[in-house]
């Protein structure tokens, strides 16, 4: 699995350093945070644009020294309704990683660095940003349990097709411009309860885009120094502007999102035997009970069959 679990001790350290951070990198509007966090997207500002760790030559060096399995690349300009999960294989067109880095703009490349925090030179800055997110979000959504980050390097007009991820995100625009469109994950037209149960259970394809969604998009035009928060499983689509773009995504899970994830998995199992379960989010006590039951099932399975527990 990508990313890294966060132990209680690690979370306490993150909170401590995020609260004390003298050189604050992230600025969230308190009203937007309190009113919209994890329900609706909201913009924020940051100071990563001037950080030399995110200059293109340093990021190319990082790509060259990281495990090649941590780097994905393709040509940038693809249809906005392309199938998200297969874009890297489908739109590579003979491009090699060396080509993509050496002739980045000429080849109109799009490169994703998975988990730059694994690199010792990047771990400090990435965990510094994560610590500030932890400090901001703790009053509303305490205890981070997992995180994973990505750096997106894209040439002009690159597209990230419509899709949704199984966690929350703070997306930082570091260089260039991006148009980020997000959809309300609670909108039943956009994703039904059944689709969400299956998405979190990794069953079948992710829900796809329909033309009728277009008018419902919330659009954020990001410049360097701006960012946007993605609520849990909020569908999104991203267009790069007319110049080279660098973007950092800090994705994470919390106790709260782990409960939702388990409750969706529980519901998917009930659907498998023909039941119509109460939607996740409609009864928090019931969601916690479903999550506890899934946890017991995982522990029982690992004891009885000595199998590794199912990932949460
Ligand atoms: Fe995404």
Centre of ligand 1 from the C-alpha of residue 64, in Å: 24
Centre of ligand 1 from the C-alpha of residue 162, in Å: 8
- pLDDT tens digits, one per residue of 70-87: 999 988 777 777 887 788
pLDDT of the residue at 305: 73
Centre of ligand 1 from the C-alpha of residue 164, in Å: 6
- pTM recorded for the entire structure: 0.93
Centre of ligand 1 from the C-alpha of residue 249, in Å: 8
Centre of ligand 1 from the C-alpha of residue 259, in Å: 21
Please calculate the CA angle 5-233-66 and round it to the nearest 5 degrees: 45
SS3 for the chain, per residue?
Answer: CCCEECCHHHHHHHHHHHHHCCCCCEECCHHHHHHHCCCCCEEEEECHHHCHHHCHHHHHHHHHHCCHHHEEEEECCCCCCCCHHHHHHHCCCCCCHHHHHHCCCCCCEEEEEECHHHCHHHHHHHHHHHHHHHHHHCCCCCCEEEEEEEEEEECCCCEEEEECCCCEEEEEEEECCEEEEECCCCCCCCCCHHHHHHHHCCCCCCCCCCHHHHHHCEEEEECCCEEEEECCCCCEEEEECCCCEEEEEEEEEEHHHHHHHHHHHHHHHHHHCCCCCCCCCCCHHHHHHHHHHHHHHHHHHHHHHCCCCCCC
Centre of ligand 1 from the C-alpha of residue 169, in Å: 8
Centre of ligand 1 from the C-alpha of residue 49, in Å: 21
Centre of ligand 1 from the C-alpha of residue 177, in Å: 17
Centre of ligand 1 from the C-alpha of residue 86, in Å: 14
31 token code pair:
């009203």
Burial 195-207 (b: 16+ CB within 10 A, else e): bbbbbbbeeeebb
Centre of ligand 1 from the C-alpha of residue 268, in Å: 23
pLDDT of the residue at 94: 81
pLDDT of the residue at 84: 77
Superfamily, domain 4-255:
Cupin (2.60.120.650)
pLDDT of the residue at 309: 56
**Residue ranges of the chain with pLDDT lower than 70?**
1, 21-22, 306-312
pLDDT of the residue at 259: 98
pLDDT of the residue at 189: 96
Strands 245-254 and 144-154 turn out to be antiparallel
277 token code pair:
């379960």
13 token code pair:
């350290």
Centre of ligand 1 from the C-alpha of residue 303, in Å: 35
Centre of ligand 1 from the C-alpha of residue 184, in Å: 14
Task: List the domain boundaries for the chain.
Answer: 4-255, 259-305
pLDDT of the residue at 228: 98
């Amino acid at each position: 699995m990508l990313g890294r679990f966060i132990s209680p001790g690690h979370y306490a350290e993150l909170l401590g350093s995020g609260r004390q951070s003298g050189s604050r990198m992230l600025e969230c509007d308190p009203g937007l945070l309190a009113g919209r966090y994890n329900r609706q997207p909201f913009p924020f500002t940051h100071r990563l644009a001037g950080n030399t760790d995110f200059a293109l030559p340093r990021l190319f060096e990082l790509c060259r020294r990281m495990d090649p399995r941590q780097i994905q690349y393709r040509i940038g300009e693809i249809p906005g309704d392309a199938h998200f999960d297969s874009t890297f294989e489908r739109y590579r067109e003979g491009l090699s990683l060396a080509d993509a880095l050496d002739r980045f703009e000429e080849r109109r490349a799009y490169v994703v660095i998975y988990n730059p925090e694994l690199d010792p030179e990047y771990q400090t800055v990435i965990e510094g940003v994560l610590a500030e997110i932890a400090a901001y979000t703790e009053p509303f959504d305490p205890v981070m349990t997992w995180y994973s980050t990505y750096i997106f390097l894209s040439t002009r007009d690159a597209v990230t097709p419509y899709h949704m991820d199984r966690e929350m995100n703070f997306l930082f625009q570091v260089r260039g411009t991006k148009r980020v469109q997000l959809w309300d994950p609670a909108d039943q037209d956009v994703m039904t309860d059944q689709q969400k149960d299956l998405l979190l259970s990794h069953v079948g394809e992710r829900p796809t885009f329909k033309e009728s969604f277009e008018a419902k998009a919330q659009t954020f035009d990001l410049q360097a120094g701006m960012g946007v928060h993605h609520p849990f499983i909020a569908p999104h689509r991203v267009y790069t502007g007319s110049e080279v773009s660098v973007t950092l995504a800090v994705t994470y899970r919390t106790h709260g999102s782990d409960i939702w994830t388990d409750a969706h998995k529980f519901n998917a199992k009930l659907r498998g035997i023909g039941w119509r379960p109460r939607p996740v989010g409609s009864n928090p006590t019931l969601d916690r009970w479903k999550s506890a039951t899934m946890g017991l099932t995982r522990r029982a399975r690992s004891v009885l069959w000595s199998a590794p527990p199912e990932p949460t």
